Amino acid sequence: MARELARRADVVIENFRPGGLTRYGLDYGSVSARNAGVVYASISGFGSGAGAHVPGYDLMVQAISGLMSLTGDPDGPPYRSGISVFDVMAGNHAVIGILAALRHREATGEGQHVDVNLLSSALTGLVNHSSAYVAGGTVPYRMGNAHPSVFPYEPLPTADRDLIVTAANDRQFRRLCEALGIPEVTEDPRFAHNSDRTANRGELRPILVERLAKRGADEWFEVLVEAGVPCAPINTIDGGFAMAERFELDPVVEAGHGDRAVPTTRHPIRFSATPVRYELPPPEHDEHGGELRTWLTTPQEDDRD
């Protein structure tokens, strides 16, 4: 049944260890021999070459890629990300590749193999850290929540909890100081430009912290955003959903109807012409198995040779 499904499919996605599907006749070579137009996507940990034998888990890739060396306090141990960031990133890369391959097939009629691995996704996902090493030979290091070349660009304590403050240019810094009631700080040559503020962050930070201690994070958020200063309170997950509600993003939707309706997070992409629909809840075990088996055993007029 799996081979027949692959023979009729527009897209096949698999994340077995490279070569693991060959004995079932479900590898790309076997599937494409029966379905020349198929877009076949493989997601592995470390590719199909010398790393094919290594199991692929997100935490392993966080370690191997160098991400963990960048996460945590400068004098503390490396930390993993709070989510399986490279599993998600590789999945997104696979979708991008599949869509590009479908566009190619639309233009040429040709299918192809889309090959994605977690480590390659991780190295591109490290963005400026990757380019700092590849282009400049610089090995980045842990800085906690600090930014290597911008200040303030980190959490700062307020009267109740930390607030992210990202006054990333001179204009934003002037607005920050005005909102904090210390406009004279912008005239200090130690803090005149970003390079000065970064070099003298040890002197500037206590000045900002002293002023921020007069109000809580939520109150400062209102004041600073109104002044044109990028900032954000550090929320728990429920606070993140509450903020999305406040911004009219409607983050929670129901999938399905009636007794089968299940609350879920809204899809992040909005389409003007083809809005996302949430008609079905997550399926129960073999819920649509009968329909699928009937479809697979019914000849199709446009069935592929």
pLDDT digits (tens, 9 = 90+) for 237-295: 999 999 999 999 999 999 999 999 999 999 999 999 999 999 999 999 999 999 999 98
DSSP 183: G
Q: Does residue 132 share a domain with residue 48?
A: yes
**Is the pLDDT at 304 greater than 70, yes or no?**
no
Does residue 25 register a pLDDT over 70? yes
What is the SS3 assignment for 85? helix
Both 8 and 131 in one domain: the answer is yes
The C-alpha atoms of residue 119 and residue 60 are separated, in whole angstroms, by 9
Which tokens go with 104?
A: 């190619």
Per the domain annotation, does 23 fall within a domain? yes
Note whether residue 249 is domain-resident.
no
Residue 181 belongs to a domain: yes
- Give residue-wise pLDDT tens across range 41-69: 999 999 999 999 999 999 999 999 999 99
With bands split at pLDDT 50, 70 and 90, how would you rate the model's confidence at 119?
A: very high
Q: At residue 208, does pLDDT exceed 50?
A: yes
Asked which of 136, 166, 184 is the last residue of a domain, the reply is 136
Query: What is the rounded average pLDDT for all residues in the chain?
Result: 95
Residue bearing tokens 């100081």: 177
Residue 40: CATH number of its domain? 3.40.50.10540
Last residue of a domain, one of 234, 265, 294: 234
Please report the pLDDT score of residue 135 as a whole number: 96
Q: Tell me, what amino acid is at 53?
A: H
Q: In what order do the strands lie in the sheet with 231-233?
A: 153-157, 162-166, 231-233
Catalytic residues: 87
Q: In terms of residue numbers, what domain contains 118?
A: 2-136
First to last CA, the chain: 17
- Is 10 in the same domain as 127? yes
Q: Where are the alpha helices (DSSP H) in 43-158?
A: 58-65, 85-108, 118-125, 127-136
- Please indicate, yes or no, whether residues 11 and 77 belong to a single structural domain of this protein: yes
Average the pLDDT over 183-197 and give the result: 97
Distance of CA 294 to the CA centre of its chain: 38
Q: Are residues 71 and 197 in the same domain?
A: no
Does residue 37 surpass a pLDDT of 50?
Answer: yes
| Closest among 207, 234, 10 to 101, alpha carbons compared | 10
Q: Is the pLDDT of residue 303 over 70?
A: no
Asked if residue 127 and residue 11 are part of one domain, the reply reads yes
Phi, psi of 39 (to 5 degrees): -100, 115
Q: Rounded to an integer, what distance in angstroms lies between the CA atom of residue 182 and that of residue 194? A: 17
302 has a pLDDT exceeding 90: no
- pLDDT of 301 over the 70 cut: no
Q: In what order do the strands lie in the sheet with 112-117?
A: 11-14, 39-44, 112-117
Query: Are 6 and 108 within one domain?
Result: yes
CATH of the domain at 207: 3.30.1540.10
Quick one: what percent of the chain has pLDDT higher than 70?
Answer: 98
Question: Which run of H or E residues covers position 237?
Answer: helix 237-246
Q: Tell me the one-letter amino acid at 45.
A: G
pLDDT band, residue 235 (cuts 50/70/90): very high
Q: How many domains does the chain have?
A: 2
* pLDDT higher than 50, residue 305: no
Same domain, 157 and 84: no
| Cα 295-299-303 angle, rounded to 5 deg | 100
Q: Is the same domain home to 92 and 217?
A: no
One domain for residues 60 and 102: yes
pTM: 0.89
Residue type, 246: R
Residue 161 and residue 120 share a domain: no
- What is the structure's pLDDT at 206? 98
The encoded tokens of residue 278 equal: 């949430």
Per-residue confidence band for 117, with pLDDT thresholds at 50, 70 and 90: very high
Contact 202, 146 (CB under 8 A): no
My answer on whether 6 and 130 are in the same domain is yes
Among 201, 234, 267, the domain boundary falls at 234
